Structure 1
């Protein structure tokens, strides 16, 4: 670690739970962030400031004026640019040491199967149910921890699904892939701007803990926030033996990845 890095990351290094060892794990880590909008913005920025060495950002959309109410990685000057390129500029301004791969495309099986074998953690910052299920299935296939967050109106939730742990449920244990709910989008439902910042910051925190080994993760717990009254609720989660994605039969048939 260089003198500049020791100074830049000194407040983390001072933490007994982190130290130089934890910071070095971050510097050598690769995080895949799917979605560069409301949740992906604070996720990407905090992972970058923390010193995660490689970030892969995936998002097919361009910055729109309506995004700026909550998507803090973007700016008025970058309206019309691809979100991943805009986010990369914001990251470079904060920490030019971070290597950023900006992929202006939708996440699909082929892309995730290419990226996940080299990833340490995956963060789902999307707002599409089918994509969420696709990301979860890829994480189970490649045994990569998934930090999942969502926010709409004044309601949000966050959890961690870690297929490296035999007892960990996956996203499909909680939400059946065959029973897609009616999609809720910010464009029609609205979203309380600070809410995505709260959830995205928590997602970044969970990813940082997973990489640095600074503390236990949210595996087996779903946190739900009702932001009007600012009330947190916790639900215990269990792995479902008949889950179509991580259940015993499907898990035995699927490749585990490296």
Structure 2
């Protein structure tokens, strides 16, 4: 990570991203009057917002408040990239969705909320998985990108596509009680690779689905992201280009990290295989002949096991909080971190079969690969994790 205590190589003010639209209607003047009387925004700034096209990657935790406040601010066109559907567990933090939206696509649900808030906003849906084959084409139609994704492969993709097209983007990240937010613009300053030149080892950083997130943290970081978007569009204030804000919700404290462009970094000349770059490999259970069991097979194994039978052990590699919500009968909790650090290896016998499981199969696959490297030969994992178990075996158990 290239950091510095100076930012004198960065411009104090960036030019406005967008030219002003022609005019506001009387209804728009009334709606945006509190903006219009701010000298730094005024009529010209509001006309720039009206003419702006902003793409939001993800209508989830960060995308929810960002989309709502961008719409409320009067951004003329909002694009939404999301191929996921609304689940009940999303509603704790993804405030753009409601109970009636469960099962709907997130993009369509967000569009309807935006239309209810501000019918003048044009909403464009991209209900696809963002990847190297479509990112440049999608990004080309927008002035600014907001990245609210929760995986490193997509973050590097967004960074590189934005750099190739010369576009700025606002980045946010959240986990548990911690948040980060910054602006990256390769044409004027650092990009995401200057902050994170190398992706962390696969599985070393839990996702929100694995580690949890305080719901209100999404609003705290998402609102800062919108604040930066408004400044970039209108050309006012000092942006977070070259700075990362780090927020601790438990301590209610903000600190700032300066980031500078790495002069020795290789230029970005094209898109790549980002899952390979981030070390994301297919789960062992996803390939023919790989050491995995289905939920139905595991249920049969558990049913056939006699009291005192030591033929196999079912190891739950999730976190204690997850285990407390829902568990598979007979599973023993040994969290992934303790195994990958080597601390718990002595607790895992080599002379019997081990069946690992997590929530969806990703973490148990990582642990399986590690144990194989350590010489374990009698190890499998549950394909699809406890979610598959709930769907196929115990549908009355809660899904989280």
Counterpart pick for 2:149 among 126, 150, 154: 126
Q: Which of 175, 187, 193 in structure 1 is aligned with 2:196?
A: 175
Deviation at 1:214, TM superposition (A): 2.4
Alignment TM-score, normalising by the size of structure 1: 0.92
Number of paired residues?
Answer: 247
Q: Alignment partner for residue 33 of structure 2, among 6, 10, 22?
A: 10
1:173-252 → structure 2 map (5 Å cutoff):
173-180=194-201, 182-244=204-266, 250-251=267-268
Determine which of 92, 97, 100 is the counterpart of 2:120: 97
Distance 2:54 2:230 in 1: 10
Determine which structure has greater relative contact order: mean sequence separation of CA pairs < 8 Å that are 6+ residues apart, divided by chain length.
1
- Residue 247 of structure 1 corresponds to none
Instruction: Report the TM-score when normalising by structure 2.
Output: 0.60
**After the TM superposition, which of the residue ranges 107-116 and 10-19 deviates more from structure 2?**
107-116
- How far 1:118 moved relative to its partner? 2.7
Distance (whole Å) between structure 2 residues aligned to residue 217 and residue 224 of structure 1: 15
Measure the CA separation in 1 of the matches of 2:265 and 2:138.
Answer: 25
Q: 1:103 to 1:254 in 2, by over 3 A?
A: closer
Q: Which residue of 1 aligns with 2:178?
A: 155
The structure with the larger Rg is 2
Aligned equivalents of 1:242, 1:149: Cα separation in 2: 26
CA-CA distance at 1:177 after TM superposition:
4.0
Which region of structure 1 is more displaced relative to structure 2, 225-234 or 101-110?
A: 101-110
Q: What residue in structure 1 maps to residue 394 of structure 2?
A: none
CA offset at residue 115 of structure 1?
Answer: 2.5
Aligned equivalents of 1:179 and 1:186: distance in 2? Answer: 16
Structure 1, unpaired ranges of 5+:
245-249
The match for 2:351 is none
Could you list the structure 1 runs, at least 4 aligned residues long, displaced by more than 3 angstroms after superposition.
177-181
The question of whether the paired residues in 1 share the 8 Å contact of 2:160 and 2:270 is answered with: no
Q: 1:49 to 1:66 in 2, by over 3 A?
A: same
C-alpha separation in 2, matches of 1:110 and 1:254? 11
Whole-Å separation in 2 of the counterparts to 1:23 and 1:171: 29
Out of 94, 97, 100, the residue aligned to residue 74 of structure 1 is 97
RMSD of aligned Cα (Å):
1.5
Q: Is the deviation greater in 177-186 or in 195-204? A: 177-186
Higher percent of residues as helix: 1
- 2:159 aligned with 1:136: yes
Q: State which of 121, 127, 137 in structure 2 corresponds to 1:114.
A: 137
Distance of 1:109 and 1:254 partners within structure 2: 9
Q: What whole-Å deviation, never above 9, does each CA across 1:111-139 have from its counterpart, x for those lacking one?
A: 22112233111000000100000000001
Do the aligned residues in 2 keep the contact of 1:129 with 1:183 (CA within 8 Å)?
A: no
Q: Compared with structure 1, are the counterparts of its residues 117 and 104 closer, same or farther at alpha carbon in structure 2 (3 Å cutoff)?
A: closer
